[in-house]
Amino acid sequence: MRAVLLLGLVQAKECHDEACPMSLLQQKQVLQPTDRRIQPEPCGYLLNEVGDASTFMNNNCKYHSNSHDCDRPLQDVLAEHPGMDGFCYFNASAMYVNFYESEAPDYVGSPAKSILKLRGTNYQGLDSGPLVTFHFEGQAITSHIDVDHYAYDDLYGFFLGALQGQGLTLEQLRDPAAWQKASAQKCEEIQTTYNFTREDMIFSEVLDMNMPIFAMSFCAAGLELPALLHTPYVTEKAKYKSAADCQPISAREYARHHYMKCLAGVKNSAADLAYLFGRACLKEGNQIRHLEACPFNPVS
């Protein structure tokens, strides 16, 4: 999410109609690849084929074929389904929970698809957005927020150490086994540090924090949250009132979000890292740069 979460938000915030059709159409397009007709039989699916607009498609459990397991720890659910990929079982439960069957994941090519899909039509180019300073866990990190979701993905990637220049390499990315090994190691490090319990990993509760994480990331950057997101579903858990009265994101909350993907299967956590690695890099002075300003640009 990784923040594959907000396709069309920039456009949507310009729509003053609460039932903005463009936003819903774009959100449905994100979910389209998860249609049950093109997935293996065991995978979950949406009973309404759209999702839950009231959660910005970030918690579709209300309409999910496996909704009976959403309010349980993910560890317990998967223990009852040995060998099942978590993103398969809960396929389409959120717009970023998508299962794709693949023997050899393409971690080099797949980030470009996510990057281009998330841009929407308002992307104006490198460094076209405001320059902000994130204040995060005692550190100051700068970045240009060229698209709204950069506020989430930049800091999330920085926290995970997933940006180019933070230790992971293009050579690892080109080798799926090596990339998954690196991802598994990060998952182990997260759990060693944060010791998440089963109660911490109740699936629907993790899903419900994705949009508040977005708001808290905006808070860390000193940015006003888009008007579209000033709803109780987002602001209450985020404790967001304004850019001057809000709770910044914590390392633990980013860790919990990623660890859900670890539990769901290393292919899913590895895909998250690949997206974050492909889109941005860390330069001297804690500057986050993007795409063509980085050594590896998957959309070039």
Can you give the pLDDT at residue 9? Answer: 42
Reported confidence tier of residue 120, pLDDT bands at 50, 70, 90: confident
Distance, CA of 158 to CA of 160 (rounded, Å): 5
Which of 126, 154, 124, 127 shows the shortest CA–CA distance to 139?
Answer: 154
The answer to whether residue 16 scores a pLDDT higher than 50 is: no
- Could you tell me the pTM of the whole model? 0.88
Which region among 112-126, 145-159, 169-183, 185-199 has the lowest average model confidence (pLDDT)?
112-126
The secondary structure of residue 5, as a DSSP letter, is T
Q: Mean pLDDT over all residues of the chain?
A: 88
Residues 31-48: what's their mean pLDDT? 61
Distance, CA of 178 to CA of 108 (rounded, Å): 13
The secondary structure of residue 203, as a DSSP letter, is H
**Residue bearing the bigger pLDDT, 5 or 130:** 130
Residues 53-68: what's their mean pLDDT? 97
Contacts of 67 (CB under 8 A, 6+ apart): 61
Contacts of 120 (CB under 8 A, 6+ apart): 7, 8, 9, 10, 11, 26, 147
- Taking only the tens place, the pLDDT of each residue in 87-98 is 999 999 999 999
Can you give the pLDDT at residue 122? Answer: 83
Beta strands in 108-230 (DSSP E): 131-136, 139-144
Residues 30-55: what's their mean pLDDT? 70
The answer to whether residue 279 scores a pLDDT higher than 50 is: yes
The answer to whether residue 179 scores a pLDDT higher than 60 is: yes
Q: What is the dihedral of CA 232, 256, 101, 211, to 10 degrees?
A: 20
Which region among 33-42, 202-211, 225-234 has the lowest average model confidence (pLDDT)?
33-42
Can you give the pLDDT at residue 299? Answer: 95
Residues 68-97: what's their mean pLDDT? 96
**Residue bearing the bigger pLDDT, 37 or 188:** 188
The answer to whether residue 134 scores a pLDDT higher than 90 is: yes
